Chain A
Amino acid sequence: MTGLLVLLLYTIAFFGTYLIASRLLKSYFQRTGFNKLKTVTFGDESAVTANRIASIVSIMTVFWLWVAFTNSVIPLPKLPGPFQGEVEFTYTVTLEDGSSDDATVSIVVYREDIQQTVDADGNPGRAPDASEVEAGDGFAKNDSTTVARYGFKVINVWSNDEVAKADGSVVTAINGQSIEPGERIQVPEGEIGLTDKGTPTFAPATGLRMARLYLPAPEIVWQRFINLMQDGYQGFTLWEHTYYSLYRVIVGFLLGALVGIPIGYAMGLTNWSRGWFDPIVEFMRPVPPLALIPLIIIWFGIDESGKIVLLFLAALWIMIIAARSGVSGVAISKVHAAYSLGASKWQILSRVIVPNSLPEIFTGARVAMGVCWGTVVAAELVAAEVGLGKMIVAASKFQLTDIVIVGIILIGVIGFLIDVGVRVLEKWLVPWKGRI
């Protein structure tokens, strides 16, 4: 249900902000430069440029949805929240002889993450006590209790009554409304019901926002990020977690490239090598690196060497195929021209084939780095002492969703930066790519 609501809000935001922005910022929505002179642009891909307002609004929308579905302190429109505060209801106990008596139950609903909050003095918060209530008259006495938001409480109303449940006393009505065991009554503050055995229960209204366990508010994640930067997690600083993950990826990738590129060249240049490596490459290529993790753990254990071997294997096949298609992409006229100019085989390789295959190698490197980055996180999820994946999985076991989200954001940002880095390197080393 919540998922559909997110989809609906997101769709509304997509079209709604377009309608608003295209009216308010008319000038920005006009095509510029040469595209301004084109009378037809629909279907002309070259006339399509990313609308940066859309990019900004898109990120803001994701952030707003994040806020809207949490109990964030950020003052943005939010969905209806969970009930918090005091609520009271009356229950009616009827005895076997037909006599009945009313009493009230006072419930304090407190925030579910109270223990993770810190008060002004730096002390951790704790759950409030139940409020003091008068016992009242009659054989049924007034009760009081507490329950956390999003929680559920079975209330043993007989605990202070003059009659016991075992004696055949039965709760027959809530707030004057008669009720059978197993039934529920909706009140604005939540849901009051009877268990199948007739004991009253109370579940405070949850609203549409998510509890901290499921989706912590942005400011909580930010606070956690600051804490992690200062104190680290599980004996390692955030930098160390990041460093180890990156180190594994870079070493694994470099080894894969170092071995894979020469093999790829050999496959593109000699029959024997192509015949020799073809079955292995074709067999190993479709095997996802993740499927190798169990075997790698059996062979190498969970220390660094195992992970580096795994990433080496993840990068190897991609780099072999990239180098091979790099060789096959060399125009035969270039090779012939070089031979006619007196080049030897070695010169053909070093002066023509290697530089000519660089664009393909870089495309392969980008793919391989992406796969390696995904694989290292997954490998760390399975077994590691340190690393971003390890941090996430350890935090998830302690239900520290905020650390999980910090980790995911970091992984995404670093993956993006790796890609940008390879692209910058590519632009510098292969300036002719896409221009011939």
Chain B
Amino acid sequence: MVGLLIDDISMRFDLPNAGHVQALKNVTLDIKSGELMSVLGPSGCGKTTLLNIVAGFLAPTEGQIHLNESRVTGPSPERGMVFQQGALFEWMSVRDNVSFGPDMKGMKRKESAERVEHLLDIVGLQDFKEKAVYELSGGMQQRVALARCLANEPDVILMDEPLGALDALTREKMQSLVLDLWKDTGKTIILITHSVEEALLLGERLLVMAPRPGRVHKEYRLPFADLGVGNDLREVKKHDDYAGTREEILAMIWNMEEEIMGRAEDNT
């Protein structure tokens, strides 16, 4: 079976005072190859933990992850990561950042050059390839991060709030870029976000998670990502179902937050 299978994952963190936190409980997901899934939820719902488990940085206390039938036991280039910020290598030029993955595999610069140039073209950084990354704006830095991840030709791209630190306009442009990359490359993408709009626009499949214990609360299949490819995202937002779905999800998350607050107040 091709795709990513998250099989009944649970994650329990033991606390020093003998208590524990159930970060994830019995999460099961079957993500097909080429699917674009966004994950949304209030803070503390375990979405970053889920991503770290899929990436292989954490081992779940129960359950297993399989990618294309082989079990995930640690980080690997087949599962690329894009972080929110600060994960670029400041001591390297834009080009060296992008060719980091091929370099690590021992690929000769000559062989990887074509791929790197192509990716720089796609993300629109051809003119900046010799620059140091700290000289770039936040949006450009995230373009480098995307290109760096793609240079390794991963099967799955895991994005941990990749656009969270960007301003609204840059963010919109980057959302279009992510959609285009998804369509062009056909990669499986899991994207974690705090923004309901982003989750709607960048989620062929949208997962709402709930906290305590972290679990899948509701799942949507949405048409917006397909509509958004190559189109103005502002037009997509005018779609009949868009506003309604957004309000529904917002209310859902609002209620979860209220519940957490209420519980916190009960405890005091």
Contacts and interface: CB of A to CB of B under 8 A. Distances in A.
B148 interface: yes
Contacts of A351: 89, 100, 104
Given A334-B87, A355-B89, A432-B91, A341 B134 contact: no
A358 interface: yes
Interface residues of A, number: 23
Given A336-B57, A431-B132, A435-B134, A341 B104 contact: yes
Contact of A334 (B55, B74, B76, B89): B89
Interface stretch (A150-158, A226-234, A342-350): A342-350
Interface of A is mostly: helix
Contacts of A436: 86, 90, 134
B89 A340 contact: no
Contacts of A302: none
Contacts of A435: 90, 134
A356 interface: yes
Interface residues of B, number: 27
Interface string A320-357: 00000000000101101111111110010001100110
Given A355-B89, A436-B86, A340 B55 contact: yes
A338 B100 contact: yes
Interface centre among A339, A344, A347 (most CB of B within 10 A): A339
A350 to B, nearest CB: 11
A126 B74 CA distance: 89
Nearest to A343: B104
Contact of A337 (B74, B81, B105, B132): B81
A359 to B, nearest CB: 10
Nearest to B86: A331
A340 B75 contact: yes
Interface string B120-160: 00000000000010100000000001001100100000000
B242 interface: no
Contacts of A334: 86-89
Contacts of A347: 104
B228 interface: no
A16 B108 CA distance: 68
B96 to A, nearest CB: 10
A435 B90 CA distance: 9
A432 B105 CA distance: 27
B86 A333 contact: yes
Contacts of B87: 331, 333-334, 336-337
Contact of B77 (A333, A341, A431): A341
B188 to A, nearest CB: 15
Given A432-B134, A435-B134, A340 B77 contact: yes
B52 to A, nearest CB: 8
A342 B57 CA distance: 13
A341 B105 CA distance: 9
Contacts of B88: 334, 337
Nearest to A356: B91
Interface centre among B76, B90, B101, B148 (most CB of A within 10 A): B90
A432 B132 contact: yes
Interface string B60-99: 0000000000000011110111011011111100000000
Nearest to A337: B87
Nearest to A354: B91
B86 A341 contact: no
A356 B89 CA distance: 8
Nearest to A352: B89
A337 B90 CA distance: 13
Nearest to B148: A341
B104 A344 contact: yes
Contacts of B79: 340
A340 B148 CA distance: 11
Contacts of A355: 89, 91
The 9 closest A-B pairs by CB, nearest first: A342-B77, A432-B90, A339-B75, A333-B87, A355-B91, A341-B101, A340-B81, A337-B87, A333-B83
Given A336-B57, A340-B75, A432-B132, 20 more contacts: A333-B83, A334-B86, A334-B87, A334-B89, A336-B75, A337-B88, A337-B145, A340-B80, A340-B81, A341-B77, A341-B100, A341-B104, A341-B148, A341-B149, A342-B105, A342-B152, A347-B104, A356-B89, A432-B90, A436-B86
8 contacts: A333-B86, A336-B81, A340-B76, A341-B100, A341-B148, A343-B104, A344-B104, A435-B90
